[in-house]
Amino acid sequence: MPEQFTNGATTTVASGITSGATSVTVTGPTSGSPPFPASGTFRIRNTRTGELVKVVGVSGTTWDLTGGRGDGGSTAAAMNAGDTLEQDLTAEALAIAFARADTANAQVIQAQGFSASGVGSFSSGGRYLGMMPGAGPPSTAGAVAGDFGFDTNGSQWFFNGTVWLRPGMLPNGYAQVTASQTGITTEADLTGLTITVTVPANQRIRLGFRGMTYSTVANDDVQINLKEGGTVLQQAVMVADTANTQQPTHADVVLVPSAGAHTYKASLQRAVGTGNVALFATATAPAYLLAEILGP
């Protein structure tokens, strides 16, 4: 049963107990306004000693305190007959309540596609992290399986225990770079923007690139290519409005590949003009290549 809460409930100790006792008899579990919960788990505070105690069961006027003495870092102390006990909202109780809410939210998010087509995995023990710093997936440091949240672009991410994934993303279907690549004229594969994914049978996928590009000469055409091997799957051209000014560059293609492993990559070239073109990327503005399942 989830932890129980009431407002302003108080009672008194009927018979004194030692600091190590695992049960206490009170004058009445239903005294106070509103009364204490008649069952389940709740937390109390002895107003004389300050001890916090977790009540784990109720049987009439007897409360089971097994494992609950000295709760929340407080010191277990003897209770005297007549001591006032009041229900208390502790940090530990709040943490459990928020974790329960996070799990409920996580189950909703899971239903919206985190485990689509059996790709990836999900643990209901994760935490909702809200808005996470930066674009793209956050650091894996401190992450636990089931954690989920949104990056600064509004994209959803969840942690499967090993890597951060987007809803429906294929395992290993994400690569990002945080360093610029400059001095490009003829086509060059972008270092770090290659992914190898295993596609289930009869699934439609989206392959996408997001980043910033520029040219050293105004009005040059900067071209991004999405490729499998030597085959060009999609091209996108960004016209450099001014020299050395980073501009958003996107390329997307929907594919129905054969079942099995596929390796995709992004390349960059100057399609028209005389300048050197470049991919601009930093830790707060990464460029990335993404493959995700859309469905049959």
CATH number of the domain bearing residue 246? 2.60.120.40
Q: Specify whether 261 is located in the same domain as 189.
A: yes
Q: Model confidence at 117, in pLDDT bands (50, 70, 90)?
A: very low
Q: What is the mean pLDDT of residues 214-232?
A: 97
Domain count along the chain: 3
Q: In whole angstroms, what is the distance from residue 114 CA to residue 145 CA? A: 12
2 within some domain: no
Structure tokens at 136: 């793209």
Task: Determine contact, residues 147/158, Cβ cutoff 8 Å.
Answer: yes
**Sequential DSSP letters for 144-192:** -TT-EEE-TTS-EEEE-SSSEE-TTEEEEEEEEE-S-EEEE-S-EEEEE
User: Average pLDDT, whole number, for the chain?
Assistant: 82
Q: Is residue 248 domain-resident?
A: yes
Q: How many CA atoms lie within 13 A of 57 on its CB side?
A: 6
Cα angle, residue 68 at apex, residues 67 and 71 outer, rounded to 5°: 130
Token pair 């009540």 is found at: 55
Q: Cβ atoms within 10 A of the Cβ of 296, count?
A: 10
If asked whether residues 213 and 275 sit together in one domain, one would say: yes
Q: Are residues 22 and 130 in the same domain?
A: no
Query: What average pLDDT score do residues 47-58 get?
Result: 91
Per-residue pLDDT averaged across 175-193, rounded?
Answer: 96
Residues 106 and 137 in one domain: yes
**Size of the chain in residues:** 296
Cα–Cα distance, 24 to 83 (Å, whole number): 11
pLDDT at 49 over 90: yes
pLDDT at 233: 97
- What residue has token string 């460029």? 287
Q: Are residues 288 and 201 in the same domain?
A: yes
215 in the same domain as 106: no
User: Per-residue pLDDT for 115 more than 60?
Assistant: no
Q: How far apart are CA 12 and CA 35, in angstroms?
A: 13
59 exposed, middle or buried (CB, 10 Å; 0-12, 13-18, 19+)?
Answer: exposed
Of 99-103, 115-119, 154-158, 174-178, minimum mean pLDDT range: 115-119
Is the domain of 104 the same as that of 75?
A: no
221 in the same domain as 190: yes
Residue 218 and residue 265 share a domain: yes
- pLDDT above 60 for 106: no
Judgement on whether residues 83 and 110 belong to the same structural domain of the protein = no
Q: Are both 177 and 153 inside the same structural domain?
A: no
DSSP alpha helix (H) spans, the chain: 91-109
| Residue 239 burial by Cβ neighbours in a 10 Å radius (0-12, 13-18, 19+) | middle
Per cent of the chain over pLDDT 70 is: 82
| 3 is a domain residue | no
Rounded to a whole number of angstroms, the CA Rg of the chain reads: 29
pLDDT of 73 > 90? The answer is no
Indicate whether 83 belongs to any domain.
yes
Least confident of 15-29, 167-181, 225-239: 167-181
Q: Does the predicted TM-score (pTM) go above 0.85?
A: no
Of 64 and 295, more confident: 64
Q: Which of 89, 124, 141 is the last residue of a domain?
A: 89
What is the separation of C-alpha 83 from the centre of its chain, rounded to a whole number of angstroms? 45
Out of 167, 198, 216, pick the residue that ends a domain: 167
Q: What is the pLDDT of residue 251?
A: 95
Domain that holds residue 240: 172-295
pLDDT of residue 198: 87
Residue 206 per-residue DSSP state? E
Position 5 in a domain: no
DSSP β-ladder status, 204-215 and 287-295: antiparallel
Answer yes or no: is pLDDT of 112 > 50.
Answer: no
Q: Is residue 32's pLDDT more than 80?
A: no
pLDDT band at 219 (very low <50, low <70, confident <90, very high): very high
Average pLDDT estimate for 81-92:
81
Kindly report whether the peptide bond that precedes residue 171 is cis, defined as omega within 30 degrees of 0: no
Same-domain status, 147 and 255: no
Residue 100 placed within a domain:
yes
- State which of 167, 191, 222 marks the end of a domain: 167
State residue 93's pLDDT score: 59
The pLDDT > 90 percentage for the chain reads 48
- Beta strands 148-150 and 128-131: pairing type? parallel
